[in-house]
Amino acid sequence: MARKIIIDTDPGQDDAVAILLALASPELDVLGITCVAGNVPLPLTARNARIICELAGRRDVAVLAGCERPLVRPLVTAEHVHGKTGLDGIALPDPVMALTPGHAVDFLIETIRREPEGSVTLCPIGPLTNIATAFRQAPDIVGRLAEVVLMGGAYFAVGNITPAAEFNIYVDPEAADIVFGSGVPLVVMPLDVTHKALTTRARVEAFRALGTRVGHAVASWTDFFERFDMAKYGSDGAPLHDPCTIAYLLKPELFSGRHINVAIETKGAFTLGMTVADWWRVTGRTANAMFIGDIDAEGFYALLTERIGRL
Ligand code: BDR
Ligand code: CA
């Protein structure tokens, strides 16, 4: 039976590739896509999620709008990486499908309560505002989840939005603190992993060579957002962060990590949003997350290209 997942997202080109990977994979049953403010404001993330579903030929997927700002802080966005729309790189038609009525947080709570206990996995690939709000409003859902597999944080790779913090955690550190402290089984894909799976010319051209509309879109998005990281890091390609979460659900053997304690910095003057990962197990604090540290990059891109080719 297909594994039931809900993708919580702020698309974003790499979010888009993650969503496409999930929709292309028969092992996964996407119960819904919940949108949050992050890379761009909520109206754009909710629009982009529907553009992506339509590109995949999936107008049937439930897409809901959620929280428009972090729990206690003003929203920080990343147009400097993802462009004005959040999905710059290729012009795609405005979505025809409507948003599913209701709030994403209510959808999360109702779906997790309705589905059999232990059957739903959450895949947050944006700031954790929707997830933390749902956990706060309905603590009973925490124990009903199979697991949460999220993209966020960094340890050896430190930060991307500040010297110490990764974007998704930095935007809403209080929300991240709630999720990491909730006791839910957690798998974390930090920058340490995503920076080991950079796009290369050959990898991008492999998407284009699929000769499909979706392959062309993925190559164009990647071409667009690569420029920022290549200039910043002086690398030959860019990390494709968010699809790592979906790839983990499909092929966990591509990844390795450690079950350790990860604490969220919510007060530091210079380190706000840092994921303080006890990789060397020096604190004695209880492990709360499988913190992934390594990836088989060739295997990851082979999987991604093959699946994108199915759409
Ligand atoms: C994360 O931040 C966003 O810009 C990306 O979509 C990804 O989820 C990487 O730090
Ligand atoms: Ca994202």
At 230, is the pLDDT very low, low, confident or very high (cuts 50, 70, 90)? confident
For ligand 1, say whether the CB of 133 is within 6 Å of any of its atoms: no
Catalytic residue among 82, 216, 241, 259: 241
pLDDT (tens digit, 9 = 90+) per residue, 26-52? Answer: 999 999 999 999 999 999 999 999 999
Q: How far apart are CA 148 and CA 176, in angstroms?
A: 12
pLDDT of residue 231: 79
User: Does 80 qualify as catalytic in the annotation?
Assistant: no
Q: Taking all residues of the chain, what is their mean pLDDT, rounded to a whole number? A: 96
pLDDT at 206 over 90: yes
Which of 75, 168, 225 has the most ligand 1 atoms within 8 A of CB, as the residue to mutate? 168
Q: Other C-beta atoms within 10 Å of 96: how many?
A: 9
User: How many structural domains comprise the chain?
Assistant: 1
The token pair at 258 is 């450690």
For residue 12, whether the previous peptide bond is cis, meaning omega lies within 30 degrees of 0, is yes
Count of C-beta atoms within a 10 Å radius of residue 250: 20
pLDDT in tens, 273-311: 999 999 999 999 999 999 999 999 999 999 999 999 999
Residue 57 has pLDDT above 90, yes or no: yes
Pairing mode, strands 255-260 and 289-295: antiparallel
- 229 — pLDDT class (breaks 50, 70, 90): confident
CATH of the domain at 83: 3.90.245.10
The alpha carbon dihedral of 130, 134, 137, 139 has a sign of negative
Q: Which is the closest atom of ligand 1 to the Cα of 151?
A: 8
Burial group, residue 162, by CB count within 10 angstroms (0-12, 13-18, 19+):
middle
Please state, in angstroms and rounded to a whole number, the distance separating the CA atoms of residues 99 and 63: 5
Task: Note down the domain range covering 264.
Answer: 3-308
pLDDT at 81: 87
Model confidence band, residue 237 (pLDDT cutoffs 50, 70, 90): confident
Decide: pTM greater than 0.75: yes
Report how far ligand 1's centroid is from the alpha carbon of 284 (Å): 30
Q: Which helix (H) or strand (E) holds 194?
A: helix 191-194
